Structure 1
Amino acid sequence: MRLLHTSDWHLGRSFHRVSMLGAQAEFIAHLVEVVRSEGVDAVLVAGDVYDRAVPPLAAVELFDQALHRLADLGVPTVMISGNHDSARRLGVGAGLMGHAGIHLRTDPAHCGEPVLLSDAHGPVAFYGLPYLEPALVKAEFGVRTSGHEAVLTGAMDRVRADLAGRAPGTRSVVLAHAFVTGGHISDSERDITVGGVASIPAAVFDGVDYVALGHLHGSQTLTERVRYSGSPLAYSFSESEHRKGMWLVDLDAAGAVSAVRVDTPVPRGLARISGRLEQLLADPRLSGHEGDWIEATLTDPERPADPMARLSERFPHTLTLVFAPEGRDAEPEVSYAERLRGRSDQEVAEDFVAHVRGSEPKEAERLVLRDAFDAVRAEETLREVAR
């Protein structure tokens, strides 16, 4: 069976105030063409279909168009909700859509109930594990600790129990939206750290033939059977080195996996350039970036006059300007976003305590902070569900 694994569409998201809707529409058209030309048997979308719980109307319309085009091809689609999605909103109409071959899995209670598809070699069971907010679903899975590993283990126990009761030789695929150990983060993923634990081990998913992951925006192979497709488009300059694409996965009669990457259309290149303003304006080595979106870091000892206007003459798509003067501590000049880049909410809070008090927080204080962040995250999720 041939599968197309994708995730993290983030429909409705912009890139530094530049609308990405046109690029997202181009991606959807490309996906449909790959499904047609490569003889894909099933499409897997591993969460974060939208960028926020209440997406703009244009994003909803694009999603609707995507579903119609995939349904028209007669190729089944299995899709889960991610941490950016409102699971209840995304899941509206799931029963009816299932009759058209669009299988939405947004309810944690149904993790052990697969979508069953077949090929010439027999059945393949597709299990959808939507994003599991530990504080909200731990009772569902009968776990005491509010951690991603615990709830995902509970969900996978249901998957393995269901699979054990099926005919011998039944192949299995799991879709999940999580941060798995070994994955590399970027600046555009929302922090899902719970209780100070940032990731879960890949061994949680043992026992199935292929795991289609979503959440991290870089395309990554954790094992031959556990992969992130990554986002089809870049949503931060930290993704400037990413090769954006999808995984075309072949699952043979015995459940062995082979996968090749299929590139997705890039609307415009990304480049991070650094140096004094006059150097950046004159350096011939930067000519290849004149059409790219630019994040520029100026190292002039003193701020030059009209730096953005002057940079834009050569690099008309300059979006971000950072000052890091040579020969001095650049920390006061670095933007707030730059200082927080790559740091979790927990780390930011602990740094603030250390800055104000002059000493690191004690372990008991760290636990209080963790519990507070977990409670806030659960409250936000409940509020999104209620919208």
Structure 2
Amino acid sequence: MLKSSLKAATGAAFIGLFAMTGLASQAQAAANCIDGKRQPPYTLGWANIYSVPTWMKQTEGTIADEVEKLKAAGMVDELVITDAQGDANVQIQQIQSMIDADVDAILLIAGSSTAPARVLEDACSKGIAIINFDSLVDTDQVTAKVNTDSNKWGDTAAKWLIEKLGGEGKILVLNGPAGISVSDDRRAGSNEALAANPGIEILAETNTAYNVAPAQEAVTSLLFAHPEIDGILSLGGALSAGAILAMDKQGRDMVPMTGENARQFLELWKEKGLSSWATMQPNWLGAFAAYTAVKALQGEDIPAFIEVPLPIIDDSNIDEYLARAGDFPADGYIYSPWDEALFDDIIAGSM
């Protein structure tokens, strides 16, 4: 009741204020699930599959930061957060609770690609904006899906390493857990480039959790079995950090290596004088989801799929990232800068 009264009393003023910051006032429904009836300030729901991993904590932090900006613009009054603790069925129940509470938008990293279909269809039918990012659902009953391209990740990493080795060399391949879509997609993305360069010999590859300790153990075993390697195609930042520690412990010379924006990897990269390349799943995908939800509720035309370009870290800009290392957890990720102008550019580029 209080929320409805607040919306009725202040909605028009808030729309005008937000229009000045770059979002037009709502005139009609221009995106899927949007019925044009909801008015600001909006309540956003963040349906988190789990909150323990540092990556997820950092992602939630960007959502909270963006919501504060949206509150200042009069567009959001509340952020509701749930934690399914890794249980996809619990996440579905929590989404249903958000629907019952009549939130205006749901931000979602899905615990299952198929299980939430029915509850998301229900939310969509009620005019609730649904922005699904990172781990995507199979249904199209959402407002927008937001993600980077994991296949492109693997392809770009492989091409960088192949070029660095001049098209010839013996390499190790480090993957995340088998059966995890992002891990499998990154590896699949590297296949074409590797097949096109027969001078690159894969000595061995391994699948481990995205943690330094198991990666270090796995690479240690591979190094004992293969005393001569020329490069490492690593498709995860913790995997790369583990590889560096394993090589250093054996007194091995460092080799060109790919990776991810994990802070420990980036710091070891600089400390050991590596030549490396990395990209990332930016934590600000969460902030972007919140911003996109409000744009959709305001009647903006939002594409059904928004591809977020892969930010690149290489020898030319590693120092820029490390200069900001103190702003990020020691076991976290140094992600690229973001603002709402960047978000507008990404949406426009996906139209």
User: 1 or 2, which has the higher helix percentage?
Assistant: 2
Structure ranking higher on relative contact order (CA contacts 8 Å, 6+ apart): 2
TM interval, short-chain normalised: under 0.3
TM-score (norm 2): 0.27
- In proportion to residue count, which structure has more strand? 1
